[in-house]
């Protein structure tokens, strides 16, 4: 019993020391370290998967969605697959502009796009993507999302996706959020939100 208590105090001491060291680091280093566990993407072979899922999206994509579309496009160019995109709240004129960008800027053929018109959250994206994929006979998915968003998406894919899936690693040259000061300034809050949301998904993993 004494040994167990000593081990608990020792482990607690290490945790407290690690936290103090982390808090003493410059803010930029804290951000770099905090992002590491959230990045769960890896390499994806050119022949894997028959559908690409891009969570988020919307007809007027911000920097976060743009980098996800950059990644989806780079994989699509290696092998054409179906691509599931969420429209969000999309007006007709916005959809036309979005289609133009998809086909010209991201070079994804219109006939390969599957529109998700119902999703309002990441969980909606994954659940509705599963339904749409079945309708189009797709089984194995490549998920393309921002590095900070990968862990939570992976948890949701494990929960809701029936086939195989892989989360694609985001190459540095495809990142867009680092280009705008507003995203840089709110990175700390964004990472905190992702950790809390990921913890929530783990706690309620077996709920519907």
Q: What CATH number is associated with residue 157?
A: 3.40.50.620
**pLDDT at residue 3, rounded to an integer:** 46
Q: Per the structure, how many domains does the chain have?
A: 1
Position 19 pLDDT exceeds 80: no
Residue 28: inside a domain:
no
CB 59 within 8 A of CB 91: yes
User: Please, what's the b/e burial string for 51-88 (b: 16 or more CB within 10 A of its CB; e: otherwise)?
Assistant: bbbbbbbbbebebbbbbbbbbbbbbbeeeebbbbbbbb
Does any domain span residue 133?
Answer: yes
- Residues 146 and 67: beta-carbon distance below 8 Å: yes
75-86 pLDDT, tens per residue?
Answer: 999 999 999 998
Tell me the pLDDT band of 42, cut-offs 50, 70 and 90. very high
pLDDT at 111: 95
How confident is the model over 65-70, as a mean pLDDT?
91
Whether 97 is in a domain gets the answer yes
pLDDT tens across 165-179, in order? 999 999 999 988 776
Between CA 42 and CA 28, with CA 145 as vertex, the angle to 5 degrees is 85
Share of the chain above pLDDT 70, in %: 80
Q: How confident is the model at residue 4 (pLDDT cuts 50, 70, 90)?
A: very low
In this prediction the pTM is 0.85
Is residue 180 classed as helix, strand or coil in its secondary structure? Answer: coil
Q: Give domain status of residue 24, yes or no.
A: no
* 60 in any annotated domain: yes
- Please tell me which residue, 10 or 185, carries the higher pLDDT value: 185
Averaged pLDDT for residues 92-110: 85
Flag whether 5 is in a domain: no
The residue with greater pLDDT, 170 or 22, is 170
Asked if 154 and 40 count as a contact pair (C-beta separation under 8 A), the reply is yes
* Beta strand segments in the chain, E: 51-54, 82-86, 113-116, 141-143, 165-167
Question: Average per-residue pLDDT in the chain?
Answer: 84
Structural domain of 173 = 40-203
- The answer as to whether 35 is a domain residue is no
Residue 169 lies in a domain: yes
Of 97 and 45, the one with more pLDDT: 45
């Amino acid at each position: 019993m004494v040994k167990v208590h000593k081990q608990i105090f020792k482990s607690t001491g290490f945790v407290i020391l690690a936290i103090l060291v982390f808090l003493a680091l410059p803010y930029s280093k804290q951000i770099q370290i905090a992002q590491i566990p959230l990045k769960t993407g890896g390499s994806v072979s050119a022949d894997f998967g028959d559908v690409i899922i891009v969570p988020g999206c919307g007809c007027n994509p911000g920097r976060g969605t743009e980098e996800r579309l950059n990644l989806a496009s780079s994989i699509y160019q290696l092998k054409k697959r179906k691509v599931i995109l969420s429209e969000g709240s999309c007006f007709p004129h916005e959809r036309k502009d979005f289609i133009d960008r998809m086909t010209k800027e991201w070079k994804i053929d219109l006939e390969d796009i599957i529109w998700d018109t119902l999703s309002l959250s990441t969980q909606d994206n994954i659940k509705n993507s599963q339904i749409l994929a079945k309708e189009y006979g797709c089984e194995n998915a490549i998920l393309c999302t921002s590095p900070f968003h990968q862990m939570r998406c992976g948890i949701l894919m494990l929960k809701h996706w029936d086939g195989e899936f892989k989360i694609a690693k985001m190459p540095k040259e495809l990142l867009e959020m680092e280009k705008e000061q507003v995203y840089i300034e709110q990175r700390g809050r964004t990472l905190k939100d992702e950790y809390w949301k990921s913890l929530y998904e783990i706690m309620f993993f077996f709920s519907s």
